[in-house]
Amino acid sequence: MKYSLDKRENDAFGINIKEYCKNHERQIVSAIDSGSVNEEMIALHREKISIIQHERLVHLIVTVMVVLAELFVIDLAVLHPELGILPPIIMLGLAILLGFYFYHYFFLENTLQHWYRLLESMESGRN
């Protein structure tokens, strides 16, 4: 299969992970509903689970690092009040960033848990 340049330009800044997950899930649910699950489809689903597991791990590591940075800035603000308004501004920015990271991490976690259940359905009803 040839990879087109148009496709590269569409995902040059990353893929839309929610759309990626929805498309895959739609395909899997359709196969389960129609009873057309086969070994190739199970292998593909396992591969996609592996990709999401990796994505989840990376986001967990980044989230923990941002939490540590937030705690450092809080400590800095408490121990050095002479720094004025700079630490609270940084704390606010990191808190907003953390909100987005938590949201995305929980999306990945919930998607992965759901995909595990889909895999069980596929394995129990394979042809």
Contact 121, 32 (CB under 8 A): yes
Is residue 99 included in any domain, yes or no? yes
The burial of 97, by beta-carbon neighbours within 10 Å (0-12 exposed, 13-18 middle, 19 or more buried), is given as middle
Q: What is the pLDDT of residue 10?
A: 65
Do residues 38 and 55 touch, judged by C-beta distance below 8 A? no
- Residue 108, in any domain of the structure: yes
Q: Per the domain annotation, does 85 fall within a domain?
A: yes
Residue pLDDT, tens place only, 8-22: 566 677 778 899 999
Q: pLDDT-based confidence at 52, cuts 50/70/90?
A: very high
Whether residue 3 lies inside any domain: the answer is no
Whether 112 is covered by a domain: the verdict is yes
- Whole domain around residue 61: which residue ranges? 56-127
Query: In the chain, which residue ranges form alpha helices assigned H by DSSP?
Result: 5-10, 17-34, 39-79, 86-124
Domain count within the chain? 1
In a domain, 71, yes or no: yes
- Whole-structure pTM over 0.75, yes or no? yes
Q: Is residue 40 part of a domain?
A: no
The pLDDT, as a whole number, for residue 16 is: 85
